[in-house]
Amino acid sequence: MEGSIVSIDWTLAVQAVNFLVFMVLINKFLFKPLLELMEEREREVGAVYSEVEALKEKANSLFSQVEELLARAKEEAKAKIDEAVREAREEREKILSEAQEEALKKVEKAKEEIWKSFEEEKAKLEKEAERIAEEIVKKILGKVA
């Protein structure tokens, strides 16, 4: 087989052994470390992903708590506002009631003063009427006599 382009001889065996040795060395020094590195990265990425999911759940939980606190704060604020409005109405009613009572007292006092003044003037007029009547009687009696 000397004339053919491809000849099989002992170099083929050497080439095969070289190839196998090369494959073993490449596997040991390149593929295994690379695969281990890739697996380690995959584990790290998985751990980070798990941590991200846990943090996401915690954030959602905290968001729910914040919403709940805000709702309670709104309810408390509304209750306080309602209480303040109720107290203001009660105070207004109290002030109006006191003002009305004082106004009635002043009206009664004014009525009493007016009545007293009326009685005094009536007494004065009665005295004056008596005096005038006496003068008239005196003048009539004085002309008659």
Distance CA 103, CA 64 (A): 58
Task: For 83-121, write each residue's pLDDT tens digit.
Answer: 999 999 999 999 999 999 999 999 999 999 999 999 999
Question: ∠ at Cα 6 (5, 12), nearest 5°?
Answer: 150
Task: For 121-139, write each residue's pLDDT tens digit.
Answer: 999 999 999 999 988 888 8
pLDDT for 23 beyond 90: yes
> For residue 2, what pLDDT is reported?
56
pLDDT for 1 beyond 60: no
What Cα–Cα distance (Å) separates residue 132 from each residue in 101, 137, 138?
Answer: 46, 8, 10
**8: which residues sit within 8 A by CB, 6+ positions away?**
1
Distance CA 52, CA 48 (A): 6
Task: Tell me the chain's radius of gyration from C-alpha atoms.
Answer: 60
* Cα four-point dihedral sign 83, 86, 92, 94: negative
> For residue 140, what pLDDT is reported?
86
Report the predicted TM-score, pTM, of the whole model to 2 decimal places.
Answer: 0.46
> For residue 138, what pLDDT is reported?
86
Task: For 43-73, write each residue's pLDDT tens digit.
Answer: 999 999 999 999 999 999 999 999 999 999 9
What percent of the chain has a predicted confidence (pLDDT) above 90?
A: 78
1-5, 22-26, 78-82, range with the lowest pLDDT: 1-5
Identify the three-state secondary structure at position 2. Answer: coil
The mean pLDDT of 17-34, rounded to a whole number, is 93
In DSSP notation, 28-63 reads IIIIHHHHHHHHHHHHHHHHHHHHHHHHHHHHHHHH
